[in-house]
Amino acid sequence: MTLSWISKLLSRKKKKDIRLAFYGEVNAGKTTLANRIANDLGYPDLGPVSEIPHETRKMVKLENAHLQKDGFDINFTLMDMPGIATTVDYRNFVKFGLTETEAIQRAKEATKGILEAIKLIDQVDIALVILDSTKVPFEQINLTIIGNLQLQKIPLIIVANKTDLPDSRPELVRQTFPDQSLVTVSAKTGDNIETLYQAIIDKM
Amino acid sequence: MNYIVDFITKNATDKLTTFEKVKMIIRLVRQNRVLIIEDGLSPEEEAELIKQTMNVIDFENFIGLEFFNWNRNSSDSRRFFKRTTLSGDKYTVVAPSAAVQIIENSQELLSIKFSS
Protein backbone atom coordinates (compact mmCIF):
# COMPACT_ATOMS: atom_id res chain seq x y z
CA MET A 1 0.00 0.00 0.00
CA THR A 2 2.75 2.43 1.03
CA LEU A 3 4.84 1.51 -2.02
CA SER A 4 1.89 2.10 -4.30
CA TRP A 5 1.36 5.53 -2.79
CA ILE A 6 5.04 6.47 -3.21
CA SER A 7 5.03 5.18 -6.76
CA LYS A 8 2.00 7.33 -7.56
CA LEU A 9 3.67 10.37 -6.05
CA LEU A 10 6.85 9.80 -8.02
CA SER A 11 5.01 9.30 -11.27
CA ARG A 12 3.18 12.59 -10.71
CA LYS A 13 6.46 14.37 -10.02
CA LYS A 14 7.81 13.12 -13.33
CA LYS A 15 4.82 14.25 -15.29
CA LYS A 16 5.91 16.87 -17.78
CA ASP A 17 2.79 17.66 -19.77
CA ILE A 18 0.34 19.61 -17.68
CA ARG A 19 -2.98 21.03 -18.85
CA LEU A 20 -3.40 24.11 -16.69
CA ALA A 21 -6.87 25.63 -16.84
CA PHE A 22 -8.07 29.07 -15.80
CA TYR A 23 -11.55 28.89 -14.32
CA GLY A 24 -13.66 31.49 -12.64
CA GLU A 25 -16.60 33.80 -12.88
CA VAL A 26 -16.87 36.48 -15.52
CA ASN A 27 -14.35 39.36 -15.28
CA ALA A 28 -12.31 37.73 -12.50
CA GLY A 29 -9.11 38.30 -14.48
CA LYS A 30 -8.61 34.85 -16.02
CA THR A 31 -7.26 36.11 -19.33
CA THR A 32 -5.09 38.74 -17.65
CA LEU A 33 -3.49 35.98 -15.59
CA ALA A 34 -3.20 33.61 -18.56
CA ASN A 35 -1.54 36.40 -20.55
CA ARG A 36 0.83 37.13 -17.66
CA ILE A 37 1.90 33.49 -17.44
CA ALA A 38 2.19 33.16 -21.23
CA ASN A 39 4.35 36.31 -21.37
CA ASP A 40 6.55 35.04 -18.51
CA LEU A 41 7.08 31.85 -20.49
CA GLY A 42 8.05 33.85 -23.57
CA TYR A 43 4.79 33.75 -25.50
CA PRO A 44 2.42 36.49 -26.66
CA ASP A 45 -0.96 37.15 -25.08
CA LEU A 46 -3.56 34.41 -25.29
CA GLY A 47 -6.41 36.83 -25.75
CA PRO A 48 -7.71 40.34 -25.39
CA VAL A 49 -8.87 41.72 -22.05
CA SER A 50 -11.97 43.88 -21.76
CA GLU A 51 -14.19 45.41 -19.13
CA ILE A 52 -17.18 44.15 -21.14
CA PRO A 53 -18.25 40.82 -19.62
CA HIS A 54 -17.70 37.58 -21.56
CA GLU A 55 -14.75 38.83 -23.59
CA THR A 56 -13.46 35.22 -23.75
CA ARG A 57 -16.27 33.21 -25.30
CA LYS A 58 -14.28 30.22 -26.55
CA MET A 59 -11.57 28.35 -24.75
CA VAL A 60 -8.16 29.65 -25.88
CA LYS A 61 -5.33 27.18 -25.74
CA LEU A 62 -1.56 27.66 -25.72
CA GLU A 63 0.29 24.39 -26.15
CA ASN A 64 3.88 23.54 -25.32
CA ALA A 65 4.52 26.51 -23.08
CA HIS A 66 7.76 25.54 -21.45
CA LEU A 67 8.75 26.18 -17.82
CA GLN A 68 12.07 25.23 -16.21
CA LYS A 69 12.17 25.88 -12.49
CA ASP A 70 13.65 24.19 -9.44
CA GLY A 71 14.62 21.10 -11.42
CA PHE A 72 11.23 20.83 -13.07
CA ASP A 73 10.97 20.80 -16.82
CA ILE A 74 7.34 21.22 -17.69
CA ASN A 75 5.35 21.59 -20.88
CA PHE A 76 2.18 23.46 -20.08
CA THR A 77 -0.95 23.59 -22.13
CA LEU A 78 -2.62 26.75 -20.90
CA MET A 79 -6.43 26.63 -21.23
CA ASP A 80 -8.08 30.00 -20.78
CA MET A 81 -11.72 29.17 -20.18
CA PRO A 82 -14.74 31.38 -20.81
CA GLY A 83 -16.11 32.84 -17.59
CA ILE A 84 -18.87 30.76 -16.03
CA ALA A 85 -22.19 32.36 -15.18
CA THR A 86 -25.80 31.33 -14.60
CA THR A 87 -27.22 34.38 -16.33
CA VAL A 88 -26.49 35.95 -19.70
CA ASP A 89 -28.32 39.19 -20.42
CA TYR A 90 -27.42 40.99 -23.63
CA ARG A 91 -28.71 44.26 -22.19
CA ASN A 92 -25.65 44.34 -19.94
CA PHE A 93 -23.45 44.52 -23.04
CA VAL A 94 -25.49 47.34 -24.55
CA LYS A 95 -24.56 49.42 -21.48
CA PHE A 96 -20.95 49.20 -22.68
CA GLY A 97 -21.81 50.70 -26.08
CA LEU A 98 -22.47 47.59 -28.15
CA THR A 99 -25.36 47.72 -30.60
CA GLU A 100 -28.29 45.44 -29.81
CA THR A 101 -27.31 43.10 -32.66
CA GLU A 102 -23.71 42.92 -31.43
CA ALA A 103 -24.89 42.39 -27.86
CA ILE A 104 -27.24 39.54 -28.77
CA GLN A 105 -24.51 37.87 -30.82
CA ARG A 106 -22.11 38.21 -27.89
CA ALA A 107 -24.72 36.74 -25.54
CA LYS A 108 -25.29 33.73 -27.81
CA GLU A 109 -21.56 33.09 -27.99
CA ALA A 110 -21.26 33.51 -24.21
CA THR A 111 -23.82 30.77 -23.50
CA LYS A 112 -21.91 28.39 -25.78
CA GLY A 113 -18.65 29.33 -24.08
CA ILE A 114 -20.07 28.57 -20.64
CA LEU A 115 -21.18 25.14 -21.85
CA GLU A 116 -17.71 24.52 -23.29
CA ALA A 117 -15.97 25.52 -20.05
CA ILE A 118 -18.08 23.10 -18.01
CA LYS A 119 -17.70 20.23 -20.48
CA LEU A 120 -13.90 20.59 -20.52
CA ILE A 121 -13.45 20.21 -16.76
CA ASP A 122 -12.52 16.53 -17.03
CA GLN A 123 -9.69 17.35 -19.46
CA VAL A 124 -7.79 19.45 -16.93
CA ASP A 125 -4.76 18.39 -14.86
CA ILE A 126 -4.53 21.43 -12.58
CA ALA A 127 -7.11 24.20 -12.27
CA LEU A 128 -6.57 27.77 -11.20
CA VAL A 129 -9.82 29.17 -9.84
CA ILE A 130 -9.50 32.91 -10.21
CA LEU A 131 -11.51 35.10 -7.85
CA ASP A 132 -11.84 38.85 -7.96
CA SER A 133 -10.67 39.72 -4.45
CA THR A 134 -12.55 43.03 -4.51
CA LYS A 135 -15.82 41.08 -4.52
CA VAL A 136 -17.35 38.72 -1.99
CA PRO A 137 -15.73 35.30 -2.52
CA PHE A 138 -18.76 33.18 -1.67
CA GLU A 139 -20.59 33.86 -4.91
CA GLN A 140 -22.37 30.62 -5.73
CA ILE A 141 -20.59 30.29 -9.06
CA ASN A 142 -17.22 30.06 -7.28
CA LEU A 143 -18.59 27.38 -4.94
CA THR A 144 -20.00 25.46 -7.91
CA ILE A 145 -16.72 25.55 -9.84
CA ILE A 146 -14.72 24.44 -6.80
CA GLY A 147 -17.26 21.75 -5.93
CA ASN A 148 -17.08 20.26 -9.42
CA LEU A 149 -13.29 20.31 -9.50
CA GLN A 150 -13.24 18.55 -6.13
CA LEU A 151 -15.75 16.02 -7.44
CA GLN A 152 -13.45 15.24 -10.38
CA LYS A 153 -10.46 15.14 -8.01
CA ILE A 154 -8.65 17.81 -10.03
CA PRO A 155 -5.97 19.62 -8.02
CA LEU A 156 -6.92 23.25 -7.72
CA ILE A 157 -5.42 26.50 -6.55
CA ILE A 158 -7.59 29.44 -5.62
CA VAL A 159 -6.11 32.64 -6.96
CA ALA A 160 -7.29 35.78 -5.18
CA ASN A 161 -6.68 38.25 -7.98
CA LYS A 162 -6.68 42.04 -8.29
CA THR A 163 -4.70 42.67 -5.11
CA ASP A 164 -3.47 45.90 -6.68
CA LEU A 165 -6.91 47.44 -6.22
CA PRO A 166 -7.74 49.35 -3.02
CA ASP A 167 -10.93 47.35 -2.38
CA SER A 168 -9.08 44.04 -2.50
CA ARG A 169 -9.76 41.78 0.52
CA PRO A 170 -7.66 38.65 0.02
CA GLU A 171 -8.02 37.82 3.73
CA LEU A 172 -11.76 37.30 3.17
CA VAL A 173 -10.99 34.83 0.38
CA ARG A 174 -8.64 33.01 2.74
CA GLN A 175 -11.28 32.90 5.48
CA THR A 176 -13.85 31.55 3.04
CA PHE A 177 -11.66 28.73 1.73
CA PRO A 178 -9.43 27.84 4.68
CA ASP A 179 -8.77 24.30 3.45
CA GLN A 180 -7.73 25.14 -0.10
CA SER A 181 -4.38 26.09 -1.63
CA LEU A 182 -4.60 29.81 -2.08
CA VAL A 183 -2.34 32.41 -3.64
CA THR A 184 -2.96 36.15 -3.73
CA VAL A 185 -1.77 37.88 -6.88
CA SER A 186 -2.18 40.86 -9.10
CA ALA A 187 -2.25 39.44 -12.61
CA LYS A 188 -2.12 43.01 -13.86
CA THR A 189 1.13 43.99 -12.12
CA GLY A 190 2.61 40.51 -11.70
CA ASP A 191 2.81 40.91 -7.94
CA ASN A 192 3.37 37.55 -6.17
CA ILE A 193 3.27 35.59 -9.42
CA GLU A 194 6.36 33.59 -8.38
CA THR A 195 4.40 32.23 -5.42
CA LEU A 196 1.75 31.04 -7.84
CA TYR A 197 4.34 29.19 -9.94
CA GLN A 198 5.62 27.50 -6.80
CA ALA A 199 2.07 26.54 -5.82
CA ILE A 200 1.53 24.99 -9.28
CA ILE A 201 4.74 22.98 -8.94
CA ASP A 202 3.65 21.87 -5.47
CA LYS A 203 0.46 20.47 -7.02
CA MET A 204 2.37 18.25 -9.45
CA MET B 1 -44.86 40.35 -12.03
CA ASN B 2 -45.84 37.97 -9.24
CA TYR B 3 -43.61 35.19 -8.05
CA ILE B 4 -44.69 31.97 -6.38
CA VAL B 5 -42.47 30.31 -3.81
CA ASP B 6 -42.42 26.50 -4.00
CA PHE B 7 -41.05 24.41 -1.16
CA ILE B 8 -40.00 21.15 -2.80
CA THR B 9 -39.60 18.23 -0.46
CA LYS B 10 -36.92 15.58 -0.61
CA ASN B 11 -39.68 13.11 -1.48
CA ALA B 12 -40.48 15.01 -4.65
CA THR B 13 -36.94 14.83 -5.99
CA ASP B 14 -35.66 11.60 -4.46
CA LYS B 15 -36.41 9.33 -7.38
CA LEU B 16 -35.46 11.77 -10.12
CA THR B 17 -32.27 11.46 -12.13
CA THR B 18 -29.95 14.48 -12.27
CA PHE B 19 -31.30 15.35 -15.70
CA GLU B 20 -34.93 15.06 -14.60
CA LYS B 21 -34.38 17.07 -11.41
CA VAL B 22 -32.68 19.88 -13.29
CA LYS B 23 -35.29 19.82 -16.05
CA MET B 24 -38.02 20.19 -13.43
CA ILE B 25 -36.19 23.08 -11.77
CA ILE B 26 -35.81 24.97 -15.02
CA ARG B 27 -39.41 24.36 -16.02
CA LEU B 28 -40.64 25.83 -12.73
CA VAL B 29 -38.21 28.75 -12.68
CA ARG B 30 -39.31 29.71 -16.18
CA GLN B 31 -42.84 29.93 -14.75
CA ASN B 32 -41.57 32.62 -12.37
CA ARG B 33 -41.35 30.37 -9.37
CA VAL B 34 -38.79 30.65 -6.61
CA LEU B 35 -37.80 27.19 -5.41
CA ILE B 36 -36.65 26.06 -2.00
CA ILE B 37 -35.37 22.55 -2.58
CA GLU B 38 -35.06 20.46 0.56
CA ASP B 39 -32.64 17.97 -0.98
CA GLY B 40 -30.15 20.54 -2.25
CA LEU B 41 -28.16 20.25 -5.42
CA SER B 42 -24.90 18.33 -5.61
CA PRO B 43 -21.98 19.92 -7.51
CA GLU B 44 -22.77 17.62 -10.43
CA GLU B 45 -26.40 18.77 -10.43
CA GLU B 46 -25.29 22.39 -10.22
CA ALA B 47 -23.14 21.92 -13.33
CA GLU B 48 -26.04 20.24 -15.10
CA LEU B 49 -28.31 23.11 -14.04
CA ILE B 50 -25.95 25.64 -15.62
CA LYS B 51 -25.63 23.56 -18.79
CA GLN B 52 -29.37 23.15 -19.25
CA THR B 53 -29.91 26.82 -18.41
CA MET B 54 -27.48 27.90 -21.12
CA ASN B 55 -29.41 25.77 -23.61
CA VAL B 56 -32.76 27.44 -22.90
CA ILE B 57 -31.80 31.10 -22.46
CA ASP B 58 -33.69 33.00 -25.14
CA PHE B 59 -32.47 36.53 -24.17
CA GLU B 60 -36.01 37.93 -24.02
CA ASN B 61 -38.24 35.87 -21.73
CA PHE B 62 -35.55 33.95 -19.89
CA ILE B 63 -32.03 35.21 -19.21
CA GLY B 64 -31.00 32.58 -16.68
CA LEU B 65 -31.32 31.85 -13.00
CA GLU B 66 -29.63 32.32 -9.67
CA PHE B 67 -29.13 29.64 -7.10
CA PHE B 68 -27.71 29.47 -3.60
CA ASN B 69 -26.74 26.52 -1.44
CA TRP B 70 -26.87 26.43 2.34
CA ASN B 71 -25.54 23.80 4.66
CA ARG B 72 -28.09 22.99 7.36
CA ASN B 73 -25.71 21.46 9.85
CA SER B 74 -22.84 23.87 10.08
CA SER B 75 -20.46 23.12 12.90
CA ASP B 76 -19.52 26.77 12.95
CA SER B 77 -21.51 28.13 15.87
CA ARG B 78 -21.20 31.71 14.65
CA ARG B 79 -23.53 31.02 11.80
CA PHE B 80 -26.80 29.23 11.57
CA PHE B 81 -26.17 28.51 7.93
CA LYS B 82 -22.91 27.88 6.19
CA ARG B 83 -22.46 28.40 2.48
CA THR B 84 -20.97 25.27 1.07
CA THR B 85 -19.38 23.66 -1.99
CA LEU B 86 -19.99 20.10 -1.01
CA SER B 87 -22.94 17.83 -1.41
CA GLY B 88 -24.64 16.47 1.65
CA ASP B 89 -27.00 18.02 4.10
CA LYS B 90 -27.89 21.26 2.40
CA TYR B 91 -30.79 22.91 0.67
CA THR B 92 -30.85 25.04 -2.43
CA VAL B 93 -32.75 28.15 -3.42
CA VAL B 94 -33.29 28.72 -7.14
CA ALA B 95 -34.89 31.80 -8.68
CA PRO B 96 -35.22 33.44 -12.07
CA SER B 97 -32.40 35.96 -12.57
CA ALA B 98 -34.75 38.62 -13.84
CA ALA B 99 -36.45 38.60 -10.43
CA VAL B 100 -33.41 38.67 -8.20
CA GLN B 101 -31.70 41.68 -6.78
CA ILE B 102 -29.11 40.95 -4.12
CA ILE B 103 -29.35 43.42 -1.26
CA GLU B 104 -26.65 41.95 0.95
CA ASN B 105 -24.29 39.05 0.48
CA SER B 106 -22.10 38.30 3.46
CA GLN B 107 -21.02 35.21 5.39
CA GLU B 108 -23.86 35.74 7.82
CA LEU B 109 -26.61 36.98 5.55
CA LEU B 110 -27.86 36.68 2.02
CA SER B 111 -30.62 39.21 1.45
CA ILE B 112 -32.55 39.12 -1.80
CA LYS B 113 -35.25 41.33 -3.17
CA PHE B 114 -37.65 39.83 -5.68
CA SER B 115 -39.07 42.26 -8.21
CA SER B 116 -39.31 42.68 -11.95
Domain extents for chain B?
A: 4-114
What are residue B107's phi and psi, to 5 degrees? -60, -35
Return the sign of the alpha-carbon dihedral for residues A45, A98, B29, A138. positive
Most A CBs within 10 A among B57, B84, B91, B106, hence the mutation to make, goes to B57
The helix/strand/coil state of A203 is coil
Chain B residue with the nearest C-alpha to that of A105: B59
What would the pLDDT profile of B17-71 be if each residue is shown by its tens digit? 999 999 999 999 999 999 999 999 999 999 999 999 999 999 889 999 999 888 7
Contact between A36 and A61 under an 8 Å Cβ cutoff? The reply is no
Q: Using CB atoms, which residue from B47, B55, B85 is nearest to A150?
A: B85
Average pLDDT across chain B, whole number:
85
How far is Cα A83 from Cα A91, in angstroms, rounded to an integer? 18
User: pTM, whole model, 2 decimals?
Assistant: 0.88
DSSP character string of B11-35:
HHHTT--HHHHHHHHHHHHTTTEEE
Query: Which residues make beta-bridge pairs with B66?
Result: B95
Lowest mean pLDDT among A11-15, A77-81, A107-111, B52-56: A11-15
Q: Using CB atoms, which residue from A112, A118, A150 is nearest to B50?
A: A118
B109 touches chain A (CB under 8 A): no
- Select the more confidently predicted residue: A5 or A189: A189
Domain B4-114 has CATH 1.10.287: no
Which pLDDT score is estimated for B85?
A: 53
How far is Cα A136 from Cα A132, in angstroms, rounded to an integer? 8
The helix/strand/coil state of A139 is coil
Angle between helices A193-202 and A30-40 (to 10 degrees): 90
What would the pLDDT profile of A104-156 be if each residue is shown by its tens digit? 999 999 999 999 999 999 999 999 999 999 998 888 999 999 999 999 999 99
Average pLDDT across chain A, whole number:
90
Write out the H or E segment, with its range, that includes residue B91.
Answer: strand B90-96
What would the pLDDT profile of A150-199 be if each residue is shown by its tens digit? 999 999 999 999 999 999 999 999 988 888 999 999 999 999 999 999 89
Looking at residue A138, the DSSP 8-state letter turns out to be T
Question: Which residue, B52, B70, B79, is CA-closest to A143?
Answer: B70
Residue B82's Cβ-side half-sphere holds a number of Cα atoms within 13 Å equal to: 18
- Select the more confidently predicted residue: B89 or A17: A17
Query: Which residues make beta-bridge pairs with B5?
Result: B34
Are A143 and B47 inside 8 Å of each other by CB?
Answer: no
Which pLDDT score is estimated for A73?
A: 79
Which pLDDT score is estimated for B76?
A: 47
Distance between A88 CA and the closest CA of chain B, angstroms? 6
DSSP H helical segments within chain A, as ranges? 2-14, 30-40, 91-94, 100-119, 140-151, 170-176, 193-202
Q: Using CB atoms, which residue from A104, A148, A176 is nearest to B47?
A: A148
How much is the ipTM here?
Answer: 0.87
How far is Cα A107 from Cα A111, in angstroms, rounded to an integer? 6
Which pLDDT score is estimated for A204?
A: 83
Which pLDDT score is estimated for A158?
A: 97
Give the contacts of B27 (CB within 8 A, at least 6 positions apart).
none
Which pLDDT score is estimated for B88?
A: 57
Q: Is A189 left (phi over 0), alpha (psi -120 to 50) or beta?
A: alpha
Which pLDDT score is estimated for B81?
A: 43
Q: Which of residues 9-48 of B touch A (CB under 8 A)?
A: 42-44, 46-47
Which pLDDT score is estimated for B1?
A: 77
